[in-house]
Structure 1
Amino acid sequence: MTKSLLKYRYSFTAGAFAAGGSFFGHAPSQLSELPILIRLFEYTPETIYYLELILLRALPIALMLICNVLNWRYFLKALQCTEQTLTATVLTAATNYMFSFLLGAIVYGEKVTMLSTLGAAFIIVGLWFLCKAQEEQKVKDKMKKLH
C-alpha cells in the first residue's frame, strides 16, 4: 500500500493545493470579521484601510492564486504518472474534499455533522479501494505477461 501512496503523491499534493486555493479564496470574508487583527497595531483610519487592503484582501488572494497554480502543476504531474487519468482525477478531487472538510471545521469553525463525517469516511474508504484495485490490476497484468 505504501508504494501505491507514493505513486499517487502528486494527486494528493494537487488536492491539498486545491483545498488551499479555496481556503485562501474564502479567507478575506472570514478574516475581516476578526477584530483582534486591528488591535495588534496602533491604528488610524488610514492605517486600518491599508492593513485591511494588504493583509485581509491582497495576501489571501495572492496565496489563492499560488495554490491554484501549484494545484494545476501537480495535477499535470499526476496525470503523467498514472496509467489512467480517471485515477488521478478522483484522487485529486477526493483529497481536495477531505482537506476542505478539515480546514473548514478546524479554521473556520464549520459545523461537523454525522452526515459530513460519514461522507468523509466514505471518501477515505473509496480512496483505499481505488488504490488497492490499481495495485491488484497491476499484479494481474504482470502475471498474464509471465504466462
Structure 2
Amino acid sequence: MESLSKYRYSLVAGSFAAAGSFFGKLPSHLSAQKLLNTTQISGDISYLEITLLQLLPLVLMVTCNVCNLRFFLKALQMTEQTITCVVLTAASNYVLSFILGALVYQEPLTVLSGIGITLILAGLWFLCDGGESKKPDKIE
C-alpha cells in the first residue's frame, strides 16, 4: 500500500488523461446517437442544448488535460525514476480508457484486448511492488 501512495500522482494524472479522452469523444458519440442534429438547427433545438452537448464536453476535455499535466509534473517531482512515472501514467490511462470505452461507448471486448489489459495490470503490479522481497534473517 505504501508504494501505491508513492505513485498516487501518476495514477491521478492517468485518470485525468482518460477523462480528457472520454470528454473529447463525447460530442461525436452524441451526434452519432442522433441526440443532437447539428446539420439542421431548427426552432426545437435551443442554444442551451447545443452548448451543453458540444461546448461543455470541450471545456471538460481541456480542463482534464490541464489537470493531467499538473499532476504529471507533480508525479515527476515525487518519483526517483522518470520512467516509472511515465509508465504508470500511460498504463492507468490505457486501462481507464478501456473501461470507459466498454461501459459508456459500448466498444467491443475482444480476447486480445482482455489479454492486453491483463498484461498491463500485471506490469503495473510489478512496477509498483518495487522489487522489495523479504530478506531471510541472518543466522549467526
What TM-score bracket applies, with the shorter chain setting the length?
A: 0.7 to 0.9
Q: Distance in 1 between matches of 2:17 and 2:28?
A: 19
Query: What are the ranges of 5 or more consecutive residues in structure 1 without an aligned counterpart?
Result: 39-43, 141-147
1:1-147 correspondence runs (5 A): 2-35=1-34, 45-48=42-45, 50-132=47-129, 134=130, 136=132
Tell me which stretches of 4 or more aligned residues in structure 1 moved more than 6 Å: none
Q: Which has the higher helix share?
A: 1
- Cα RMSD (Å) of the superposition? 2.2
1:75 aligned partner, one-letter code: F
Do the aligned residues in 2 keep the contact of 1:15 with 1:91 (CA within 8 Å)?
Answer: yes
Q: What TM-score results when the alignment is normalised by the length of structure 2?
A: 0.86
1:10 aligned partner, one-letter code: Y
- Give aligned-pair identity as a percent: 58
Do the aligned residues in 2 keep the contact of 1:11 with 1:75 (CA within 8 Å)?
Answer: yes
Deviation at 1:31, TM superposition (A): 1.2
* Equivalences, count: 132
Deviation at 1:46, TM superposition (A): 3.4
Deviation at 1:37, TM superposition (A): 7.1
